[in-house]
């Protein structure tokens, strides 16, 4: 992996995987459309180049869809549980990575 060196005053600091945890928090807000435009762009940029976070984003979106559906359809509780497990797996991978 080669990181681009962008000459600039204070751009943010080292994000060597550590940044992912921050982004994962933002992804939740991102899905709820509760982010500032600047943050939205940052998250989108990160999702473009970070596969684990993108997968987490997809899963979060799936959970939201399942939850929304279960509200109207009373889906079996096992389904949401299973999706949660998947998310946890991805989170562990990200933490380990
Ligand atoms: Zn990431």
CA angle, residues 30, 50, 57, in degrees to nearest 5: 35
* pLDDT above 60: residue 24: yes
39-52 pLDDT tens trace: 999 999 999 999 99
Task: Give residue 8's pLDDT.
Answer: 42
pLDDT band at 5 (very low <50, low <70, confident <90, very high): low
Q: How far is the CA of 11 from the centre of ligand 1 (A)?
A: 17
C-alpha span between 90 and 77 (Å, rounded): 21
Task: Give residue 45's pLDDT.
Answer: 93
Which residues, chain by chain, have CB under 5 Å from ion ligand 1? 20, 50, 53
Q: Which of 11-15, 21-25, 92-96 has the highest mean pLDDT?
A: 21-25
47 vs 12: which has the higher pLDDT: 47
The structure's pTM equals: 0.54
Q: How far is the CA of 68 from the centre of ligand 1 (A)?
A: 26
Q: H/E/C letters for each residue in the chain?
A: CCCCCCCCCCCCCCCCCHHHHHHHHHHHHHHCCCCCHHHHHHHHHHHHHCHHHHHHHHHHHHHHHHHHHHHHHCCCHHHHHHHHHHHHHHHHHHHHC
* pLDDT above 60: residue 16: no
């Amino acid at each position: 992996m080669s990181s681009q060196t962008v000459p600039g005053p204070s751009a943010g600091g080292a994000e060597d995987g550590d940044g992912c945890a921050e982004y994962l928090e933002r992804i939740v807000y991102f899905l709820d459309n509760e982010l500032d435009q600047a943050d939205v762009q940052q998250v989108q940029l990160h999702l473009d180049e970070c596969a684990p976070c993108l997968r987490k984003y997809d899963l979060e979106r799936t959970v939201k869809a399942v939850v929304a559906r279960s509200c109207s359809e009373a889906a079996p509780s096992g389904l949401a549980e299973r999706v949660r497990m998947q998310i946890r797996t991805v989170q562990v991978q990200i933490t380990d990575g």
